Structure 1
């Protein structure tokens, strides 16, 4: 079977979808409304903290929105996903949100996982995603 652009895009779209679903399910299991409860909690907590922490929360929410956008664009096979991918990569690295969402699942299942190994795997996953999206956007 020949690897096509849609295979690559659907794989990365599935990884983004898995991340979003995992987040929503974890929030719901804790009795929270995904994202809305986070924003509400942050507004209460961050009132007493510095502006920098408010900015960090805003950037983290921007990453969440960009993951949703990239998920949709990847499933639609749109070339514009390249720019979303490029822009979200530094945020994914800063907040340790790997493009290969299975890394997060694995970290939950392994009791004393190695944090350095996880960081290396996150960097590798981002390099592979940026390279593959760039390569398959160029092939169109």
Structure 2
């Protein structure tokens, strides 16, 4: 079965949307406003933890923002969005945030190295599919 380029983009858009929903639900369960509470916490604690750690927190928040952008772009089948998808790969690896978002449900259930291997495989598959399937 061969997927069209638009179908490939939409599949990644659905997976990004699932990750956004998961993040939002987890925030609401913790009685936080998704994204806003995290951003304010990062900015508020920057003096206490130092600029370097605050920068890492902002980078993680920017990754989440870019996931929202790619979710919309991919769902609309907008091919230039794949460039942002490529740019996310190193950040997703750094923060261990898989593009195949259902893998998040396995975090803590699998041995760490196995989960890491699944995250790396997820990003390799995304990179390959965006490169080969959406040219």
Q: Is 79-88 or 18-27 further displaced after alignment?
A: 79-88
| CA distance in 2 between partners of 1:88 and 1:97 (Å) | 10
Unaligned runs of 5+ in 1: none
| CA distance in 2 between partners of 1:58 and 1:27 (Å) | 17
Aligned to 1:64: 64
Q: Which runs of 4+ in 1 moved over 3 A?
A: none
1:92 Cα offset (Å)? 0.4
Q: Where do residues 107-126 of structure 1 align in structure 2 (5 Å cutoff)?
A: 107=107, 110=109, 113-126=110-123
Aligned to 1:52: 52
Aligned to 1:5: 5
SS in 2 for 1:58: helix
Aligned to 2:128: 131
Higher relative CO (Cα under 8 Å, sequence separation at least 6) belongs to 2
Query: Aligned-pair RMSD on alpha carbons?
Result: 1.4
Length, aligned pairs only: 135
| CA distance in 2 between partners of 1:132 and 1:2 (Å) | 11
Does structure 1 retain, via aligned residues, the 8 Å contact 2:9–2:77? yes
Does structure 1 retain, via aligned residues, the 8 Å contact 2:16–2:101? yes
Q: Is 66-75 or 6-15 further displaced after alignment?
A: 6-15
| CA distance in 2 between partners of 1:52 and 1:6 (Å) | 39
SS in 1 for 2:48: coil
| CA distance in 2 between partners of 1:5 and 1:50 (Å) | 44
Question: Normalization by structure 1: what TM-score?
Answer: 0.90
